Structure 1
Amino acid sequence: MKLLSWNIQWGRGMDGRVDLARILRTIRSLGDFDLICLQEVAVNFPGLPGSRGEDQIAELSAGLPGYTGIYGAATDVPDGRGGRSQFGNALFSRLPVGQVWRHPLPWPAEPGMPSMQRVLVEAVVTAGFGPLRVLTTHLEYYSQRQRQIQIDAIRRLHVEACVMSARLPLAEEQGGAFEVFPRPAEALLCGDMNFPASAPERLQFLAPFAGGEPGFRDAWEVLHPNEAHAPTVGIHPVGFVDQPECFDFVFVTEGLSNRLKAHDIDAATEASDHQPVWVELA
């Protein structure tokens, strides 16, 4: 199973041009992926620099035939013309998809601090080795406090899923809207976490769970022990970091860590202000 995660900055490259065809070409050049997780995907948002208000979900879906597209809009606001402007994360899967969740993450008020609503997209997929939950998110950039609260929420959702995975469905839940679909404990979480590898937030993600639920491991550390994380931002000049840093991570539960086969980053592309990262599990 091969998965790619990439903050595409609504398709805006280092040249300032929004070009989703370039995003798709880059993805295809990097490999044949079963799952593609993208952050900063916009629908009808002409206020974004370089955007013409494209329906980027429609364009990406058209360029990814054979994939099931799942969109989680963190921001969903009036466009002033009777429509809606949306901004969030997308997950494309050519593996069978079970139940899907779109979890809004906490957005506590913090006076004087820029921030925006964030979302976690979760989908159950069935790989060759069995079912797992794939989750993708884009955490708050400016506020460490908000990031930490969002990480706590993601960890609580993981505990909830683990408890649900052991629960037997009731007769009343067969058929209809109450029907319970599998929600496995094993999970892969990826995305733009907006913190460097040295930040306490990374250790917060990796901390053991009090109830003994499967913990998360950093895929880079599993495959590259004692090696610094490869940078995913700042390789090409950007205004939000002073030096190259790793902001984009893949975390897997302990039961999946022994399936990790490869984890790499494309440092060359300038199709976004982040670099794409990918993992392979066997």
Structure 2
Amino acid sequence: MERDQSAQLAALLPGYSAIFRPAIETVDRDGNLHHFGNMTLSRLPVLQIANHLLPWPGVGTVRSMRRHTLEVTVRASFGAIHVVNTHLEFLSAVQREAKIARLLDLQEDASMSPKQAGSRHHEPYGSQTVAASSLLCGDFNFDVADPQHPIRPAWSGISGCMDRNRPGRARSPTCGIYDRAQWADGPDCRDFIFVTEDLTGYVRSIEVNEATVTSPL
């Protein structure tokens, strides 16, 4: 029987809110349900959760899978923040481009929408919280030399935390540190965190755990 990885991760961080949402759920021949998706764990109060399926162009023409982005709105001391967590396609730059475009549209919608207090009324219209302040993170499956990076010229007001916070220093690798079967060219950096300009002053540090065999950011 497969282990529930989301439950295992949640157990490692007691006191954090653990939010997992699947991009896809499949059932095997034995009737077992399998999930693939994203998870966000937050020590800040969670105000709202949204799950967005990302575009999947060219289905069947290239080996790929359904992807999504998990949007968790949390309450920080200075206001609400959208924490956007995603995992883009590995094998298809065309699919990544379509997914990036959707992420940009979601951010534009948030920045253009009238702000609501999020008073948690029982009816759905009264309980929505719109936050333009955003943190975008995840496995983007492009490296720093890829034309799709950096995202910020297209996403107005976005900065790469690792650029701003580590001036003059090479980025730490986030994949291929130990797995040379998939990463024959050696370690690479494909996991990133981006923030809107209004949040850059709150970024204190970013560390990469190079001792782990998983994506360590």
Q: Same fold (TM over 0.5)?
A: yes
Moved more, 183-192 or 232-241: 232-241
Alpha-carbon separation, structure 1, partners of 2:59 and 2:31: 30
Assess, with a 3 A threshold, how the Cα gap between structure 1 residues 244 and 59 changes in structure 2: closer, same or farther.
closer
- Of 148, 154, 159 in structure 1, the residue corresponding to residue 97 of structure 2 is 148
What is the CA-CA distance between 1:202 and the residue it aligns to?
Answer: 1.4
The equivalences for 1:87-98 within 5 A come to 87-98=36-47
* TM-aligned CA distance change 1:175 to 1:163, over 3 Å: farther
Looking at structure 1, the residues matched to 59 and 53 of structure 2 have their Cα atoms a distance apart, in angstroms, of 17
- The residue number in structure 2 matching 1:251 is 194
AA aligned to 1:235 is: I
Aligned to 1:113: 62
Distance 1:258 1:78 in 2: 46
SS at structure 1 position matched to 2:57: coil
Q: CA deviation at 1:78?
A: 1.7
Instruction: Report the equivalent of 1:222.
Output: 164
Q: Are the equivalent residues in 1 in contact too, given 2:54–2:99 (CA < 8 A)?
A: yes
Equivalent residue, structure 2, for 1:16: none
State how many pairs are aligned: 214
Structure 2 Cα separation of the partners of residues 245 and 84 of structure 1:
33
Match of 1:207 in 2: 153
Unmatched 5+ stretches in structure 2: none
Which residue matches 2:134? Answer: 187
* Counterparts of 1:88 and 1:118, CA distance in 2: 7
1:5 aligns with: none
CA distance in 2, matches of 1:269, 1:81: 33
Corresponding residue of 2:8:
59
Q: Secondary structure at the match of 2:91?
A: coil
**What are the Cα deviations for residues 223-270 of structure 1, in whole angstroms up to 9, with x where unaligned?**
123433221112223333312210110101110112211112111223
1:72 Cα offset (Å): 1.5
> Which structure carries more relative contact order (alpha carbon 8 Å, separation 6+)?
1
State the match for 2:211 in structure 1.
268
Q: Report the aligned-residue RMSD.
A: 2.1
Unaligned runs of 5+ in 1: 1-51, 278-282
In structure 2, what is the Cα distance between the partners aligned to 1:159 and 1:106? 17
Matches within 5 A, 1:130-145: 130-145=79-94
- Secondary structure (helix, strand or coil) at the match of 1:235 reads coil
Distance of aligned partners of 1:83 and 1:236 in 2 relative to their CA distance in 1, 3 Å threshold: closer
Q: Equivalent residue of 1:202, what SS?
A: coil
The Cα shift of 1:128 comes to 2.6
Query: SS of the residue aligned with 2:175?
Result: coil
- Alignment correspondent of 2:143: 196
Query: What residue in structure 2 maps to residue 4 of structure 1?
Result: none
TM-score by length of 1: 0.70
Is the 1:197–1:229 Cα contact (8 Å) retained in structure 2? Answer: no
